[in-house]
Amino acid sequence: MSAQRASLPIAVFDSGIGGLTVLHELLVSLPAESYLYLGDTAGFPYGTKSLDWLRPRIGRSTRFLLDRGSKLLVVACNSATSAGGDVVREVAQEHGVEVLTVVDPEAEIAAAISESGRVGVLATPTTVQGGAYRRALDAQGRELQVTEVAAPDLAPIIQNGFPFDQRVMDTVRSYCAPLQRADVDTLILGCTHYPLVAPMLQRMLGRDVRLVTAGHAVAAAAQRALETRGLETENDTEGEYRFLCTGRVDAFRELGTRFLQMPLGEVEQVELRP
C-alpha cells in the first residue's frame, strides 16, 4: 500500500495562479515527484471574500482535489489557510493525507533570520484578519515586534497581468510605508502572488530588508513530510505535473507560464459543485 501511495502526486491548492510560485520551487527541489495543481480562478480573489463564502468553497475545493488521489496536500494560499485551515485538515484527514501550509514555514524562517526582531507581514485582508501569521510568529519562542499590512489590491493587480505602470508603483509604495516606519528588517510575503513584485518591494524597502517567500520553505517541509511517511517516489526521472482550474483555461495558461517559469502542460477546466 505504501508503494502504491508513493506513486500518487502531491496536490497543490491555490485560489488562483499565485501558488505556481510555490509549485515552481517544488518542481525544482523534488523533480522526481508528480504534481496535481488546482487553481480556483473562478473564485479569485479569496483575500477580500467573507468567511461565509470562503469556508464552504475551500472545503469543496479540497475535497474535489483530493478525490483525484494524492499523497500530500500543499495549501499554497495564505487566505485559504487563514480562513479555512481547519476545514482543509478535516477533509484531508478523511482522505488520510497530511497537510502543509505556507504560513508556518515562513514564520519559522522569519523568526530565525530577523536580527532586530522587527518582522513585517504583507498579506491580504483575510489573512491579516485571520491572525494566522501572528499566531505562527508568537509560537516561535522569541520576542518579536510584528507589523502586519493588509494589501487588498496587490494580488488582483498581479493576477491581472503585466506590465506594471506608475499607479501600481504608487500602490505598492503605500503598502511599504508602514513597514518602513516600523523599521522591519524581515518581511514575510504573505501571499503567493507577491514574489512577482519582490524586486519592486526590495527597491522600496532597501536591500538590507530580507524577504521571506513560501516556495523554499514549503519545498523543504514537503521533503521532510514525504521522508517521514516513507512516501518518496521511486522514480528516478522527472515527474509529471498537471493543472485544474475553475476559470478560463486560456487565461490560466497565459499568465501561469510567467508564474511557473516553465511551460504549462495539460490544463483541465473543472466546476466545483456544492
Candidates 191, 212, 214, 217; catalytic one: 191
Residues in the chain, how many?
Answer: 274
Q: Is 191 known to be catalytic?
A: yes
77 is catalytic: yes
DSSP calls for 120-172: EEEE-HHHHHHTHHHHHHHTTSS--EEEEEE-TTHHHHHHT-S---HHHHHHH
Nearest Cα to 191, choosing from 81, 71, 96, 57? Answer: 81
- Separation of CA 267 from chain center: 19
Which of 55, 211, 36, 255 shows the shortest CA–CA distance to 120? 211
SS3 193: coil
- Residue 110: Cβ-neighbour burial (10 angstroms; 0-12, 13-18, 19+): buried
- Residue 101, CA atoms < 13 Å, CB-side half-sphere: 25
Residue 120 near residue 176, CB atoms below 8 Å: no
Q: Which of 215, 149, 138 is nearest to 184 (CA)?
A: 149
What is the DSSP code (8-state) at residue 10? Answer: E
The residue annotated as part of the active site, out of 36, 38, 72, 77, is 77
Please identify every residue annotated as catalytic: 77, 191
